[in-house]
């Protein structure tokens, strides 16, 4: 089992092209096809506040500028991809994607960002996004959340645009028995099979949540045993500092380079209003995080 198709969406800008070398590195590990998706915004998306009464000349100028900016971003992204592919030894392909070969191409699609991102993600094995400063951009945040919530695909969050560290040598699993955590573990299997160290943190909270099995790490440990994966287990008390901060600190203590966890176990609205584990991790992580819903 591996990642055969990896998707890297860009929401109308080349701003995060610095993540391409990391995407190529992951593709190289798994001999995967890396699809670099540029989502060109529809013209109306450049006109959110003008309304129907805006003069035609003004509308035309704004649309033309938006198209020019998108054209420029596509060219820069293609150039960055060519360099990243060459450095990584990836084959640049046009239309036909060869099976079982490490290759990449730039695909451009026009449309509403969330719709295009989710549609293209559904038949991928892994989707890459940038957290940290990237998560602060509205288009990136909305696309990330939609892909995570609506596609059933694992999402790998890089802690920054230019992250150059390792991914998946020392893995920490945040386990709470939830469906989201179980899906994250399954989505991380290709990384887990290559890891040198796997640590399962059984997250303890005093708040009882419907659907969450607090029967601890035996189940996930047994599952990893079936896969022949060595691991260690520990219980962590997240009451004092909260789950998110505790997980980040424990991951740092164990020098983890990948945190595997469920995403948005609570509703998206509740997380946004009250502040939740997923939101905190996305905003503050310094290591890659693999999420699933």
**pLDDT, averaged in runs of 10, over the chain (293 residues):** 94 88 97 97 64 67 84 95 98 89 96 94 97 69 92 95 94 93 97 98 64 62 96 85 91 97 69 65 94 95
How far does CA 7 lie from the centroid of its chain?
9
Q: Write down the pTM of the prediction.
A: 0.90
What's the pLDDT score for residue 175? 92
Nearest to 198 by CA among 224, 222, 178, 176: 224
Residue 34's contacts (CB-CB under 8 Å, 6 or more residues apart) are 6, 7, 8, 23, 24, 26, 27, 90, 103, 104
What's the pLDDT score for residue 275? 47
What's the pLDDT score for residue 95? 81
Domains 5-158 and 170-292 agree in fold: yes
Nearest to 134 by CA among 163, 111, 104, 168: 163
What's the pLDDT score for residue 204? 75
- Environment class of 284 (CB within 10 Å of its CB; exposed 0-12, middle 13-18, buried 19+): middle
Residue keyed to tokens 């995060």: 16
What's the pLDDT score for residue 216? 54
Query: Distance between CA atoms of 248 and 277, rounded to whole angstroms?
Result: 10
Residue keyed to tokens 């059933």: 152
Number of C-alpha atoms within 13 angstroms, CB side, residue 266?
14
User: Cα-flanking dihedrals φ and ψ of residue 94, to 5°?
Assistant: -100, -75
Query: For domain 170-292, is the CATH number 3.40.50.720?
Result: no
List Cα–Cα distances, 242 to 29, 208, 228, in angstroms.
35, 15, 32
What are the boundaries of each domain within the chain? 5-158, 170-292
Tokens of residue 72, six digits: 């420029």
What's the pLDDT score for residue 253? 95
pLDDT digits (tens, 9 = 90+) for 132-148: 655 557 788 889 999 99
Kindly report the CATH number that applies to the domain delimited by 5-158.
3.40.50.620
Task: Give the chain as a 3 state SS string.
Answer: CCCCEEEEEECCCCCCHHHHHHHHHHHHHHCCEEEEEEEECCHHHHCCCCCCCCCHHHHHHHHHHHHHHHHHHHHHHHHHHHHHHHHHCCEECCCCCCCCCCEEEEEEEECCHHHHHHHHHCCCCEEEEECCCCCCCHHHHHHHHHHHHHCCCCEEEECCCCCCCCCCCEEEEEECCCHHHHHHHHHCHHHHHHCCEEEEEEEECCCCCCCCCCCCCHHHHHHHHHCCCCCEEEEEECCCCCHHHHHHHHHHHCCCCEEEEECCCCCHHHHHHHCCHHHHHHHHCCCCEEEEC
Tokens of residue 76, six digits: 């820069």
Beta strands 197-204 and 170-175: pairing type?
parallel
What's the pLDDT score for residue 96? 82
List Cα–Cα distances, 137 to 31, 60, 162, 181, in angstroms.
31, 26, 16, 26
């Amino acid at each position: 089992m591996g990642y055969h198709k990896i998707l890297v969406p860009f929401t109308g800008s080349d701003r995060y092209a610095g993540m391409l070398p990391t995407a190529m590195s992951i593709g190289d590990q798994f001999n995967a096809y890396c699809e670099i998706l540029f989502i060109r915004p529809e013209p109306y998306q450049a006109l959110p506040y003008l309304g129907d009464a805006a003069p035609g000349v003004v509308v035309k100028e704004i649309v033309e500028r938006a198209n020019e900016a998108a054209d420029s971003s596509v060219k820069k992204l293609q150039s960055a991809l060519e360099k990243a592919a060459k450095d990584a030894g990836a084959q640049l392909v046009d239309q036909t994607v060869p099976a079982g070969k490490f290759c990449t191409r730039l695909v451009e699609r026009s449309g509403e960002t969330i719709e295009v991102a989710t549609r293209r993600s559904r038949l991928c094995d892994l989707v890459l996004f940038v957290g940290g400063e990237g998560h602060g951009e509205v288009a990136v945040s909305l696309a990330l959340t939609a892909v995570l919530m609506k596609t059933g695909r694992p999402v790998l969050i890089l802690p920054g645009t230019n992250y150059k560290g390792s991914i998946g040598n020392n893995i920490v699993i945040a386990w709470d028995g939830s469906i989201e955590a179980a899906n994250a573990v399954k989505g991380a299997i290709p990384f887990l099979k290559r890891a040198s160290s796997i640590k399962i943190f059984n997250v303890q909270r005093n708040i009882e949540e419907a659907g969450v099995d607090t029967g601890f790490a035996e189940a996930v440990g047994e599952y990893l045993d079936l896969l022949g994966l060595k691991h260690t287990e520990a219980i962590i008390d997240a009451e004092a500092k909260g789950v998110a901060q505790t997980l980040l600190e424990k991951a740092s203590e164990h020098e983890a380079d990948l945190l595997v966890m469920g995403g948005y176990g609570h509703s998206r609205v509740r997380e946004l209003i009250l502040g939740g584990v997923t939101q905190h991790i996305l905003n503050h992580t310094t290591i890659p995080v693999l999420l699933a819903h």
